DNA sequence: AATCCACCCAACCGCTACTAC
DNA sequence: CGTAGTAGCGGTTGGGTGGAT
């Protein structure tokens, strides 16, 4: 059983918004707030689906949007945040006041990707294209890496309590993540895939240590490794 | 002047997460 | 606990625009 459509497609406009539609949406939201998007089109007298209204408001009509070119500082911040968060455009946008996820996503694909490539960096991994990188890791390696990452980032994209305590994103956003490589690693970190990463001489950095949280109780790796990881 | 092509960006689509019942 | 409705997210598309030929 499929889901019912979000709106009556036969009676909705599609495509570019007109000035009149914009004005109707703006005046309605100014008067009533952002409430229930599904009901807004009818209430505002628009022949659009709620989804379309939401996108139009968030990406274009919101009064707090900062239009215009990205500054070099914003560029660098986007690059660093993307290195940390990946394609989580909404999380990246949350740290760039006045910018939308859609805007950042477009800007990434049109400008920053090329900028990274020109620097010899893989836009997806942020690693030098000639060196072993995330892209070389096997799929089965990813859950542990992801879990380690989530230990620091927290869920729902909000700052975790540790994040609040340390304000880590303001300290160091130039992150690199890899699999552990240490003879004292517990068995769970001694899988064949880890061994293969070692043999590839991948640069191994515990994210918590890299961020300056040595021996943090929050880090599962640090719970096992009380000595600093030997960097290659 | 006409055509082609690459680029940009607004908007759409499909999916997932969340919430209420 | 399962289902349905809704909001939000990320990937993709397509129209507009400007430069090159």
Residues 6+ apart with CB under 8 A from A68: none
What span, in angstroms and rounded, lies between the C-alpha atoms of A85 and A193?
Answer: 23
Say if CB A204 and CB A132 are below 8 A apart: no
Tokens of A162: 């540790």
**Domain spans of chain A?**
9-61, 72-118, 134-224
Confidence of residue A135 (pLDDT cuts 50, 70, 90): very low
Say if CB A221 and CB A148 are below 8 A apart: yes
Which has more pLDDT, A197 or A90?
A90
pLDDT digits over A76-86, tens only?
Answer: 888 888 888 88
Our measurement of CA A159 to C1' C3, in angstroms, reads 32
CATH of span A9-61: 1.10.10.60
Nucleotide nearest to A51 (CA to C1'): C7
Residues 6+ apart with CB under 8 A from A148: A177, A206, A207, A219, A220, A221
Our measurement of CA A207 to C1' C18, in angstroms, reads 45
pLDDT digits over A169-211, tens only?
Answer: 343 433 343 333 333 333 333 333 333 333 333 333 334 334 3
In this model, does residue A107 exceed pLDDT 80?
A: yes
Our measurement of CA A53 to C1' B14, in angstroms, reads 18
Q: List residue ranges whose Cβ is under 7 angstroms from nucleic strand B.
A: A 13-17, 48, 51-52, 55-56, 59-60, 102-103, 105-107, 109-111, 155-156
Which has more pLDDT, A75 or A220?
A75
Nucleotide nearest to A12 (CA to C1'): B12
Nearest residue to A216 via CA among A183, A171, A168: A168
Which has more pLDDT, A119 or A230?
A119
| Residue A6 Cα distances to A3, A25, A44, A52, A136, angstroms | 9, 18, 17, 10, 41
pLDDT of A188: 35
Angle formed at CA A211 by CA A209 and CA A216, multiple of 5 degrees:
50
Our measurement of CA A189 to C1' B19, in angstroms, reads 38
* Residue at minimum CA to C1' distance from nucleotide B8: A110
List the nucleotides on chain B closer than 7 A to a protein CB.
7-14, 18
pLDDT of A2: 31
Tokens of A9: 């497609």
CATH 2.60.40.3140: does it fit domain A72-118? no
Say if CB A164 and CB A191 are below 8 A apart: no
**Burial per residue of A63-72, b for 16 or more beta-carbon CB atoms within 10 angstroms, e otherwise:** eeeeeeebee
- The number of beta carbons lying within 10 Å of the beta carbon of residue A131 is 14
Among A7-11, A35-39, A205-209, where is mean pLDDT lowest? A205-209
Do the first three CATH levels of A9-61 and A72-118 match, i.e. the same topology? yes
Nucleotide nearest to A15 (CA to C1'): B11
């Amino acid at each position: 059983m499929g889901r019912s459509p979000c709106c009556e497609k036969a009676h909705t406009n599609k495509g570019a918004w007109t000035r009149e539609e914009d004005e109707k949406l703006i005046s309605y939201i100014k008067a009533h707030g952002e409430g229930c998007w599904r009901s807004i089109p009818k209430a505002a007298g628009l022949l659009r689906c709620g989804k379309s209204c939401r996108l139009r408001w968030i990406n274009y009509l919101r009064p707090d949007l900062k239009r215009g070119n990205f500054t070099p500082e914003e560029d660098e911040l986007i690059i660093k945040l993307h290195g940390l968060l990946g394609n989580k455009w909404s999380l990246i946008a949350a740290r760039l006041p006045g910018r939308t996820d859609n805007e950042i996503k477009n800007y990434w694909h049109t400008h920053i990707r090329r900028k990274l490539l020109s620097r010899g960096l893989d836009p997806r991994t942020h690693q030098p294209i000639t060196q072993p990188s995330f892209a070389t890791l096997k799929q089965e390696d990813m859950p542990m890496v992801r879990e380690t990452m989530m230990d620091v980032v927290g869920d729902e994209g909000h700052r975790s309590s540790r994040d609040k305590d340390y304000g880590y994103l303001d300290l160091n956003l130039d992150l690199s993540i890899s699999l552990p490589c240490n003879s004292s690693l517990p068995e769970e970190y001694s899988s064949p895939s880890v061994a293969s990463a070692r043999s590839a001489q991948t640069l191994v950095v515990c994210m918590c240590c890299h961020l300056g949280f040595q021996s943090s109780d929050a880090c599962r790796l640090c719970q096992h490794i009380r000595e600093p990881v030997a960097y290659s």
